[in-house]
Copies of this chain bind each other. A is one copy, B any other.
């Protein structure tokens, strides 16, 4: 095992969708463990004054074009979720609720959230959609409904956002490997090179 990679993302980030679809194979190829950290970038943007990628003129057209081009290259389905940008509060809480029980189940859930949003075009900010995705992993509706309202889970999410910000995270996807930060899906090849060479 070459080490541990922290993978920070916001479910409302389309580039994070591509990263999430790649990261298991990436981990296998470079023999690393990956810790998934869904966060709410909106909370960090408020402090940094940044704007979501898809709210900026000119960049928006380019980004849409680049996302579709990336999907074709990776042979992955891609559609834009109905509402952009959106708050992924419920999906984040559900992730941390699941993680308390099983880290790998939470990762499966995260991948299913991305697929629901970016492959099926479902509204993954919606409580009902998120609940269905948890129920499909053999939980009961009332369990998850209670879980996402739990104060401990709410606190876990805010701690995750604060920890991310403290670690310097300001975008999505964002990777940290042995304190070395890599921002953006386009940086994954460089990250791989860094892992292989043990830095330079």
A positions within 8 Å CB-CB of B: 48-50, 56-59, 61-62, 65-66, 69, 72-73, 168, 170-171, 181, 183-184, 186-187, 189-190, 193, 200
A183 to chain B, nearest CB (A): 6
A101 to chain B, nearest CB (A): 33
Contact residues in B for A72 (Cβ distance below 8 Å): 200
CB <8 Å contact, A62 and B186: no
Enumerate 21 A-B pairs (CB-CB under 8 Å) in ascending A order.
A48-B59, A49-B56, A49-B57, A50-B59, A58-B168, A59-B170, A59-B171, A62-B168, A62-B170, A62-B183, A65-B181, A66-B183, A69-B200, A72-B200, A73-B190, A73-B193, A73-B200, A184-B186, A186-B186, A186-B190, A189-B189
A61 contact from B65, B168, B187, B200, Cβ within 8 A: B168
Bound-state Cα–Cα, A66 to B187, Å: 10
- When C-beta atoms are compared, the residue in chain B nearest to A185 turns out to be B186
CB <8 Å contact, B189 and A62: no
A24 to chain B, nearest CB (A): 22
Bound-state Cα–Cα, A168 to B56, Å: 13
Contact residues in B for A48 (Cβ distance below 8 Å): 56-59
A54 to chain B, nearest CB (A): 14
Bound-state Cα–Cα, A11 to B46, Å: 31
Contact residues in B for A66 (Cβ distance below 8 Å): 183
* Top-3 shortest CB links A-B: A58-B170, A186-B186, A48-B58
Contact residues in B for A171 (Cβ distance below 8 Å): 59
Bound-state Cα–Cα, A193 to B69, Å: 12
CB <8 Å contact, A56 and B50: yes
A161 to chain B, nearest CB (A): 14
A181 contact from B62, B73, B168, B189, Cβ within 8 A: B62
Contact residues in B for A56 (Cβ distance below 8 Å): 48-50
